[in-house]
């Protein structure tokens, strides 16, 4: 087989494999509720690995009362605009991705905030530093000073109180 035919066959195989697990609008359905394009409840999983031979993952379990969100703009005063997320499998054990329209989240008076420290651990910060970090990461991360770093997908695990205010927030480096 000529190298051109071999390359064409390889490209077609990759394209076909990329379509496995996608719905008609080309978005991954991993983490979607059965028969729906809506995200499954956070922390739930079918427990079954993805059917793609190179991709095996399950949705990570979250602590009770926690969910993962993806900020979409710089936080202002006590408000953060973020998208809900769903878990999508990929060759690197999966990732959280924002879905739907942004929602406004408010911060409680006392907030436990933790940022990723080079992906190896977490550093506790005051909420104002968290807000600056989220903004810096949304702007590309050039102003983030080591040992802090921006997670690849810009997602955060949050816990809310009975009023819906964020009481805990932790940057997620990788599920």
Residue-wise pLDDT for 58-104, tens only, equals 888 888 899 999 999 999 889 999 999 999 888 877 888 999 999 99
Mean of the per-residue pLDDT values for the chain? 74
- Condensed to tens digits (0 to 9), the pLDDT of residues 103-130 reads 999 999 999 999 988 767 899 999 999 9
* pLDDT above 80 for 47: no
Looking at the structure of the chain, the number of domains it has is 1
Domain of residue 14, residue span:
3-172
Share of the chain above pLDDT 90, in %: 45
Instruction: Convert 93-130 to b/e letters by CB count within 10 Å (16 or more is b).
Output: ebbbbbbeebeebebbeebebbbbeeeeeeeebebeeb
């Amino acid at each position: 087989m000529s190298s051109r035919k071999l390359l064409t066959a390889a490209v077609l195989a990759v394209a076909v494999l990329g379509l496995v697990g996608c719905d008609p609008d080309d978005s991954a359905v991993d983490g979607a509720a059965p028969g729906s394009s809506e995200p499954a409840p956070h922390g739930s999983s079918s427990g079954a690995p993805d059917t793609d031979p190179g991709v095996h993952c399950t949705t990570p379990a979250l602590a009770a009362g926690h969910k993962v969100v993806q900020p979409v703009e710089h936080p202002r005063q006590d408000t953060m605009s973020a998208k809900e997320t769903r878990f999508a499998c990929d060759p690197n054990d999966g990732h959280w991705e924002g879905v739907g329209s942004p929602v406004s989240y408010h911060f409680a008076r006392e907030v436990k905030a933790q940022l990723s420290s080079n992906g190896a651990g977490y550093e506790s910060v005051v909420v104002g530093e968290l807000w600056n970090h989220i903004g810096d990461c949304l702007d590309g991360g050039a102003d983030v000073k080591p040992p802090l770093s921006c997670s690849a997908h810009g997602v955060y695990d949050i816990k809310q109180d009975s009023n819906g205010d964020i009481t805990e927030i932790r940057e997620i480096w990788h599920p």
